[in-house]
Chain A
Amino acid sequence: MQVVPSGNYIPFLSSGENKPKVQIKSFKMDQTPVTNFEFNQFLKANPKWRKTKVLSLFADQNYLKHWKHDLLSEGEIKKIGDSPVVNVSWFAARAFCHAQQGRLASINEWEFAADSDNPKNIQKILRWYGKIKKNQSTPVKKMSLGKYGLRGMHGYIWEWVNDYNSVLITNDSRSTSSDKMNGLFCGGGSLGSKDASNYASFMRYAFRSGLDGKYTYSLLGFRCIKNM
């Protein structure tokens, strides 16, 4: 795991009247997304998360659909063992992290660690969206290195965060009275964001707002963090 030092972070979609800055406490983060091999190890010890056993309350039908069976064969381990595990639900990702005495990062922690405001990253992620693939087979150790020694934060897969369900687009968004008005207008959300030209962040937030805890997708994986 890599240490992400403490710091201040301004959430992309700001809410909370007087203190847009959020203090991030330092934490340790997996250097890479969790791999198929690592997830297979987890399933060996935790059968209830295997695909024929998992409750439909916690994972949809496409859970681990890129695996032939409940556990990986030797051949599959050679082929996809080192690439990021995808098609996993939030519940499964969370259970994996708990089993390692860790947890999923919050949106703020993830965005802070990912150095999301860096224009280089914004360009990188926009290029990725431009030619998005159906699956991701890059071995995690070959993924490009970002800030804090973390690999593959941008340009390969989406990643689960703990509070994925906190991106509110409509309903009771009472953060500020002006925010409430913004919600009524098309494109209104951009008025509440700190940098309207950061399309990459918009896409991540929009993606998260469409997620459901049992949802799985061929480009959605995760990594864990630990408190210091």
Chain B
Amino acid sequence: MKLLLLVVMFFLVSFTLPHSSLFNLSSVWEDHNGEKHNFSEIRNDKYKIITMIFTSCPAACPLMVSHVKKLDMSLSKEQKEKVEYLFFSIDPLDKKETLAAFHKKFSLDARFIFFRNKNEASILELAAVLGFKYKKIEKNLYSHGTDVYLLNPEGEIIKQVKESFNAIELGKKIP
């Protein structure tokens, strides 16, 4: 009986999400390896660094990736094991091949994951919960913010920087 209670408790704790958790979203994203994930399945025991980019981006996005990489380099070994870096494309035309090429170009490890979505409404929804601003200018060209967010393992935003070059500050909040 006690064991059953424990099992029930475990399920309650692991399935009840905070109301402000991003893992309440249910859009489906494809990663740079071609695997599909429901947004809620991105949840695990890791902290998440999140931002939005697009791969045909001429200037800002490569810089954003390198700022996030710098953040990772500033972390301790213990911290590094507790964090994942997720980049979501704002361009519904982005392909998994270009995402994979981006991943390779920056020599990133498996903790860095790029996602794309063909559905504009899902991209906009994610931007809206993050408070990320972007505007399509023409095909394959967007204006956008450079905000970077830190999510706790439950999916709540616990810190945000407006400019990606300050991403290093997010590291202080990772235990």
- Chain-B contact segment, one of A27-35, A149-157, A162-170, A187-195: A162-170
Asked if A172 and B144 make an inter-chain contact with CB atoms under 8 angstroms apart, the answer reads: yes
Interface centre among A57, A162, A213 (most CB of B within 10 A): A57
* Pair A165/B127 contact, Cβ less than 8 Å: yes
Please determine whether A166 and B129 come into contact, CB atoms closer than 8 angstroms: no
Size class of A's contact patch?
20 to 34
Report Cα–Cα, A213/B127, bound state, in Å: 9
Which chain B residue has the least Cβ–Cβ distance from A55? Answer: B19
**In the assembled complex, how far is the CB of residue B35 from the closest CB belonging to chain A, in whole angstroms?**
25
Q: Considering the chains assembled together, what is the distance between the CA atoms of A165 and B135 in angstroms? A: 8
Chain A 26-59 near chain B by CB (<8 Å), digits 1 or 0: 0000000000000000000000000000011110
- Residue of A55, A58, A165, A173 most packed against chain B (CB within 10 A): A165
Contact between A165 and B132 (Cβ–Cβ < 8 Å)?
yes
Q: CB of A142 within 8 A of chain B?
A: no
Q: How far is the CB of B22 from chain A (nearest CB, A)?
A: 7
Q: Please, how many angstroms separate the alpha-carbon atoms of A90 and B128 in the complex?
A: 9
B136 contact set on A, CB distance < 8 A? 166
- State whether the Cβ of A175 lies closer than 8 Å to any Cβ in chain B: yes
Minimal Cβ-Cβ distance residue in A for B131: A212
A168 to B145, CA, bound (A): 8
Do A57 and B146 contact each other (CB < 8 Å), given the known contacts A15-B137, A163-B124, A168-B135?
no
Q: In the bound complex, what is the Cα–Cα distance between A162 and B125 (angstroms)?
A: 10
Interface size, B (range): 20 to 34
Chain A residue contacts of B59, Cβ below 8 A = 174
Q: Within the assembled complex, what's the spacing in Å between the Cα atoms of A175 and B144?
A: 10
Q: Quick check: B133 and A171 within 8 Å, CB to CB?
A: yes
Known: A16-B138, A55-B20, A57-B22. Contact between A91 and B143, CB under 8 A? no
Cβ-based interface call for B140 (8 A) = no
Q: A55-B20, A172-B60 are in contact. Are A213 and B143 (CB under 8 A)?
A: no
B60: contacting residue among A15, A165, A166, A174, CB under 8 A: A174
A166 to B132 Cα, complex, angstroms: 9
- Decide if B24 is an interface residue (CB 8 Å cutoff): yes
What is the bound-complex CA distance between A166 and B52, given in angstroms? 14
Cβ-based interface call for B173 (8 A): no
Closest Cβ of chain B to A186, distance in Å, is 19
B128 CB contact (under 8 Å) in A16, A165, A167, A171: A165
- Give 8 A-B pairs besides A57-B25, A165-B128, A167-B135 with Cβ atoms closer than 8 angstroms: A15-B135, A15-B137, A57-B19, A90-B128, A165-B132, A168-B134, A173-B143, A174-B59
Nearest 3 CB-CB pairings of A with B: A213-B128, A166-B135, A56-B19
B interface residues with partner A (beta carbon < 8 Å): 19-22, 24-25, 59-60, 124-125, 127-129, 131-138, 143-146, 162-163
Residues of A bordering B, CB below 8 Å: 15-16, 19, 55-58, 90-91, 162-163, 165-168, 171-175, 212-214
